[in-house]
Amino acid sequence: MRMHSMAFFFQIAKFQSNSNSGNKNGLYGKGAKKKLHVDSLVIMEVQHIPDSFESVHQYLGTYLFPLLEETRAELSLSLKAIHKAPFARLVSIEEPKSGGKLLLDVSVDSWRNTTKNGGKESYRTLPGDIFLILDEKPNAETVMSLQCSTRTWAFAWAKQNPENGYSAHLKLNFSKNISGEHDMQKEFFIVFLMSITTNLRIWNSLHSSEDAKIIEHGDEICDRCSLYNNAVCAEKLGTSLSSVLNDSQSAAVLCSICKTLCDHMPSVELIWGPPGTGKTKTISFLLCKILEMNQRVLACAPTNVAITELAARVVQLLRESSKAKGVLCSLGDMLLFGNKDRLKVGSELEEIYLDYRVDRLVECFGQAGWKYHTTCFINLFESSNSEYLILLKSNVQTSPSFLGFIREKFKSTSSALRGCLKTLITHIPKQFILEHNIQNIEILLNLIDSFGMLLSQDNVTSEQMKMLLSSPEVFIDFPNSSVAETILYFRSQCLSSLRTLQASLNQLQFPSTANRESVKKFCFQRASLILCTASSSFQLNFMKMDPVNLLVIDEAAQLKECESIVPLQLPGIKHAILIGDECQLPAIVSSQVSSMDYLL
């Protein structure tokens, strides 16, 4: 993977720098020159992509040069707008102790021109960003002046995240080493041009054909189980779908789900519809039904906007369903991941977003997590008298009454425990936490509310409360025995529920260590519905988890065909459902050559 990434970067960054080298057939075709002319960059020869192929290897290889040409075109457009791009002055360029002469540590001062898209987004350095390093402040004439033989410039690529998350210290791969010239007190600037992360991921996927069965056999039909699966799906889902979807939408969902039940061969199902036919509504219900069937599915879309819209629709359906049933909504089966700034994750989606979920679960699994707060709540019912005596001995004059002490302790303890328990219901998949634990949590939360209401009343004194929390038999001597009996009943029920839940949750295999990496791994391993852009799905190649067997791509017509290969080649993908309308907005292609005849 790394070799392919480096090869891609250097092929894009490589403009012939030595006209006497004898190489007349450079990367950009015959006649490539030393001078950099953005308007006249020679377009590499790109062959037409046929409709059929003899092998998967030929199919994947056909997209390599169109992808390079497309990246070149995007780079050319970025160079033309260099005077508007984010830039900074280089403070230092150093060679690290290891990594080679073309891997350099760079420090910069503050970035300027940092807003883009009309000032709505602020630039932040991310892996895959391409820069131009040059010896003058960027302006409208910069690109044309680079042809001057006395100018020094190089392309650079951000290989990893900036140190400490700041864009002032970067580790960059350079197309050539210019650290020596910087040491000669020559001033240099760094200019952000574009991100090649998506194209890098496509490039790597095009060089891998290990999991290409769905590409090779996706159009075949299984005769052994199609009729049986159709009957089963119609019987189980027909009524629930017809009450919400129209006949066409219901048929699309049934047909798609039936194909995913086949274990004999891969399949690709297309759901097509013009604007206003409810494609997003259909796919949302499709994903909800697949969740109910306990299948692992990856849902993708071309853009961050499209995937967050789809995620929001599915979350809304799940919340509406939980509300109708009168139960707490569990979202642990869903997992959205990607760059938070680009996804623009708001409050409506944060509970399924990976980083937010990891933060909550790290707290919940930690030393001051659900185990600690469960024990604290048990101690409230069993050890409050002794704790109050210790408090009196330490500070007699300012100590509250026992009733005030219990009320305050109950308030803080119940709030912390409630937060942990709701985190478990919200962020742990139902299949893992199990239905009986969810029910026990809901019962316990109701008991806590009831006991809290009893504590807030004024029909029990401090001395009486001391007795009630020390012995289960004292209510006989109370003037108002019904109040004492009620308090003791809820105390007993709370303790029983706490111990039952504590024992049951201890049997679950939560991460043994509450660090971010182990919890992140847990989230990916347990999620049934993973959502991300098609490009971001490349990261799943490096996740140790059970493979997903179903891929759903929304707005598929807006996705370059070669980009769809990224999720299609993930390990385990056996079925794919593509939703879209080719008559609407197509994939954006910068190169006039690559866009001809739908080359990408």
- What are 40-47's contacts with CB under 8 Å, separation 24+? 41/72, 41/76, 43/69, 43/72, 43/591, 43/593, 44/68, 44/69, 44/72, 46/593, 46/594, 46/599
Greater confidence (183 vs 301) lies with: 301
Which of 32-46, 206-220, 242-256 is the most confident on average? 242-256
- Close Cβ partners of 447 (under 8 Å, ≥ 6 residues apart): 490, 493, 494, 497
Comparing 166-170, 307-311, 400-404, 453-457, which segment has the lowest mean pLDDT? 166-170
Q: Which helix (H) or strand (E) holds 145?
A: helix 142-145
Q: Do the strands 189-195 and 87-94 form a parallel or antiparallel pair, or are they unpaired? A: antiparallel
What average pLDDT does the segment 327-348 reach?
Answer: 90
pLDDT at 563: 94
| Structural domains of the chain in order of their starting residue, each with its CATH number | 2-206 (no CATH), 213-357+521-598 (3.40.50.300), 371-393+404-414+431-506 (no CATH)
Residue 202 Cα to chain centre, angstroms: 18
- Close Cβ partners of 329 (under 8 Å, ≥ 6 residues apart): 318, 319, 322, 323, 425, 426
Per-residue pLDDT of 525-558, as tens digits, reads: 999 999 999 999 999 999 988 889 999 999 999 9
pLDDT at 3: 44
3 state DSSP class of 26: strand
What average pLDDT does the segment 135-146 reach?
Answer: 82
Structure-token match 């699966």, residue found: 229
Per-residue pLDDT of 453-486, as tens digits, reads: 999 888 888 888 888 887 654 444 555 567 788 8
What is the 3 state secondary structure string of 1-19?
CHHHHHHHHHHHHCCCCCC
546 class by beta-carbon count within 10 Å (0-12 exposed, 13-18 middle, 19+ buried): exposed
Q: Phi/psi of residue 18, each to 5°?
A: -130, 100
For the chain, give percent helix, strand, coil, nearest 5: 50, 15, 35
pLDDT at 451: 94
**In b/e form, how buried is each residue of 110-137, taking b as 16+ CB within 10 angstroms?**
ebeebeeeeeeeebbbbebbbbbbbbee
Instruction: Say if residue 224's pLDDT is above 90.
Output: no
pLDDT at 86: 92
Distance CA 423, CA 351 (A): 9
**In b/e form, how buried is each residue of 167-194, taking b as 16+ CB within 10 angstroms?**
bbebbbbbbebbbeebeeeeebbbbbbb
Per-residue pLDDT of 65-116, as tens digits, reads: 888 888 888 998 998 889 889 999 988 888 776 666 688 888 888 888 776 5
Comparing 159-168, 368-377, 485-494, 567-576, which segment has the lowest mean pLDDT? 159-168
Check if the beta carbon of residue 576 is closer than 8 Å to that of residue 554: no
